[in-house]
Amino acid sequence: MQGVVDGIEQSLVGLSVATDSLLLAVREGLVNAIRHGCAGDPDLQVSVGLTAATGGEVTVRIQDPGPGFVPGACPDPTGPEERWRSHGRGLFLMRHLADQVQYAFPSDGGSVLTLTFKPASSAWRSNEGDPMPMPITTRTSNGVTIIDVSGNLDAVTAPMFQGVADEAVAGRATNLVVNLAQTRLLDSSGAGALMSVCKRVRSVQGDMYLSGATAGQVSGVLKLLGMDKTFKNFGTADEAVQAFQGAGSSATR
């Protein structure tokens, strides 16, 4: 999947579309096509095409062999109850990132997703830095477990993050800080993993704070999905640790 996204990014050089928004929407479309359209079957194929019009409009077409679904039946993932689900955010993100989202279901089978993007003067920007493998490290400060996430927290890396966090909770860590200061990109799968871990921590009378996600793409996704209402989000991990200690600190929520 990453190779496809990289190829599309190269095709966007010189165009005035919101590149970060487009690439995230394409990721969401690809993940849905692989998970649902192909049901994870490696023998099934997903086709992707990109068209750039003279006026700067870009269209991305993603086709999978799946049986299709009813787009209007997907619940709003920002609702008080739905926000705690580990999945179901992809279509919502695509609808907010693209200027137009259309699904077609040909009579001979399959699903065709068409994403349209108009020229944009501004967009979310990923955190500075080149893409990198996602190292996840844990450390302890004043009895609080800090999980540092670098790179992308997406469909590929979210299970790794969740495994590390679950291991920490199994080791009786009840106060967690997820430090996203070096996280370059957050997608719906990463968001779902954050909610799942938080739900587990709170089930054992603990809590989970975020740090470093106060601006840029990661902050934008959190706000769009309504997750800024769920988490206290501090400027630094140290500030989050101080809040657990009752020292007080400023946080966004």
β-partners of residue 52 are: 58
Q: Are residues 145 and 240 in the same domain?
A: yes
Residue 224 domain flag: yes
Highest mean pLDDT among 77-91, 125-139, 201-215: 201-215
Q: How many residues belong to the chain?
A: 253
Does this model's pTM top 0.75? My answer is yes
Give the helix/strand (H/E) hosting 91. Answer: helix 90-97
Check: CB of residue 189 under 8 Å from CB of residue 155: yes
Residue 131 domain flag: no
Residue 82 domain flag: yes
Average pLDDT for residues 170-188, to the nearest whole number?
93
Residue 83 domain flag: yes
pLDDT of residue 140: 95
Range of the domain at 220: 136-252
Average pLDDT for residues 156-162, to the nearest whole number?
91
Residue 163 CB coordination number (10 Å): 12
Q: Are residues 147 and 236 in the same domain?
A: yes
β-strand pairing of 175-186 with 207-211: parallel
- Which amino acid appears at position 179 of this protein? N
Question: Which CATH number covers residue 21?
Answer: 3.30.565.10
